[in-house]
Chains A and B, each alone.
Chain A
Amino acid sequence: MPNKTLRVERVTKRYGALTAVNQLTLTIRAGEVFALLGPNGAGKTTTLEMIEGLRQPDEGRVWWGDVDLAQKPAYARQRFGVQLQNSEFFELLTVRETLELFHSLYRQRLAVPDLIVRLDLAEKQHARVGSLSGGQRQRLALACALVNDPEIVFLDEPSAGLDPQARQNLWAVIRQLQAEGRTVVLTTHYMEEAAALADRVAIVDHGTILDEGTVDELIHRHTPSAVLELSREVGRDVASALSSVQRVDIQADALLLVTDQLEKTLIELVNWANDHQRPLTGLKTRQATLEDVFLTLTGRSLRE
């Protein structure tokens, strides 16, 4: 695989009054798995589609190596592998016919039978697309994205709607793509997925990148060492009053106490519980995760 860096330079996309993507800049290195992490509506899909050439940016450029993709869209289409969010195909064609159709549209390509085996579609190869389950359809979409032996693969929410087993299988395929020297760019709103797969993560919200880096870098940069979880019964004001707690966030029915002095916070909490004869229900301590990074950066939870 040739080594080409993908550079997104100050790209902007507006829909009427709404700015979906705002001056977004990114660098994706050849051979890495790069994840765009953010909630729905953050501008991940729009960003991806501007790179893929499906949408024209209002401002900015996308470079692949030394090629400006706006100047050579056909070049990118030959070499990019694309899986769209909610990919649909002709529902009355079979899996094999669909793959053969896509296969015949490219110059450089992988053999259809190999792809069928690789994505575990052998049993379903003569089944019509309309009869496939969500997971099978996702595998077909992935196979169609690989049919041209792409240098970069773009996967938009590849694990949306998959059960845990199917997600594990997908992750294995993505790791293998990287092992073959392909660059993988994916969007997700699953923290675990970004943490498990990505060499580097960009956190996206409101059409801009809040920060990017490896998962460890992001955690070290934005959150202290630990998070303490508690049931909300304790009360936010009580938690905020503890001297060692830096910040209190609320996530679903839990209070998240962010601290860099875990032992001190624990002692303070236990003392408070003793004094007031109240239980500390749901008490948990853990290391900070990407989720906490996201909370720190945006002030809200990723799943909201």
Chain B
Amino acid sequence: MNAVIVLTRSLLRQTLRNRQGLFWTLFFPLVLMMVFSFLGNAPSRVSLAVVAPQGASNTVVQAFTRSPVFTVTRLPRVVALREVQRGQLAGALFVPKEPAPHHPIALTLRYNNANALTAQQTVGAVEAYVAETDLALSGHPPWLRVSVRALTHSHTATYLDFLLPGILALMAMQNSLFGIGAGLTRWKEKGVLRRFRATPVLPGQFLAATLVHYVIIGLASALIVLGFSTTVLHATVLIPWGAVLTVLMLGMGTFLAIGFIVAGLSKSQEATVPLINLISFPMMFLSGVFFPVSSLPHLVTEIVQFFPLTYMTNALRGLMSGQFTPHAAAFGTDLLGLAAWLVATGVIAARVWRWE
């Protein structure tokens, strides 16, 4: 037991001092998240036409124009309605002439209800904004305040929120595969592992230390990306810790086992890395990391749904977007799929891997 701890500590030291390796572990996911945080937020504004005749309340018009929630264009009534009808604009807001003091201003919102989602988003946004502005204009401090946090990636979710679980799954895959394929295999070839075979350390102990080390590195980098995305980039995701950790561990276990299989079957490190690329590339693009699996051709979907990374992405995205809870049947299916992969690859890895 002591040997496992000492070896794990040494492996962690070795990895943490490899600045270049660490950089590439974190750099790609962080940059990707940053890029998409800029791209992803723009389309969530509601495009609104404001129809305001001469003498209409300027305060109201200005309030809407300044709002970060809306992209406002002032249009004549007929044009506005036509654009809404054609789906070019989400809604048209009619501002009446300034009424007598102390009378409410009756705003009218016309929206296109062909698309339920956009309709809901438009109405919701306008109503919420009106309530807020009303209070602000009245000069009274608000009595109640609501912080809105999205549960589903329906209307307020950004692409960032969609991408984050996928990136976490992708990182688990890449770190595990390349950890074995490029790290452990190199130590094996250079004879570092061989030297330990001449000590009282058992192969099982070295294996345990290796696995613990890669899981710690994997979880730590997942935490960094998760923390950065939620605090700095304001991704809004749910994090049911227990379930998320379970998925990450099962996934990492599977990909570590696949790494052991590939490294065990190929003769050298030079042969291992291309093979790993061959395995990881299709999953990276087909397993729903960057876009939903459902957008692929039906036949491809039928195959892709059984990939380990697909199970991981589905499970993480479901949990983090609130589509399902850890008790949901859909989550159970993903978990079962991952567990099956882990057992199958683990058994093969145990037969194929050689310590020298």
Which residues of A approach B to under 8 Å, CB–CB? 52-54, 74, 77-78, 80, 82, 84, 86-93, 97, 101-102, 104-107, 128, 144
Contacts and interface: CB of A to CB of B under 8 A. Distances in A.
A106 B191 contact: no
Contacts of B351: none
Contact of B197 (A54, A92, A101): A54
Contacts of B195: 82, 84, 87-89, 144
The dominant DSSP class at the B interface is helix
Residue from B3, B10, B18, B198 having most chain A Cβ neighbours under 10 A: B198
B149 interface: no
A93 B11 CA distance: 9
Interface of B: 2-3, 6-7, 10-11, 13-14, 17-18, 187, 190-192, 194-195, 197-201
Contacts of B14: 90-93
Contacts of B13: 90, 92-93, 97
A196 to B, nearest CB: 26
B187 A104 contact: no
A97 B198 contact: no
Given A54-B198, A105-B200, A105-B201, A88 B6 contact: no
A93 B10 contact: yes
A105 B6 contact: yes
Given A92-B17, A106-B199, A101 B191 contact: no
Interface of A is mostly: loop
Contact of B192 (A52, A53, A77, A89): A89
B200 A77 contact: yes
Nearest to A103: B6
A304 B309 CA distance: 56
Contacts of A89: 192, 195
B192 A90 contact: yes
B200 A101 contact: no
A128 B3 CA distance: 22
Contacts of A54: 194, 197-198
Contacts of B190: 88
B198 A78 contact: no
A52 B198 CA distance: 7
Given A101-B6, A144-B195, 17 more contacts: A54-B197, A77-B198, A82-B195, A84-B191, A84-B194, A90-B187, A92-B13, A92-B18, A97-B10, A97-B13, A101-B10, A102-B199, A104-B6, A105-B6, A105-B199, A106-B199, A128-B17
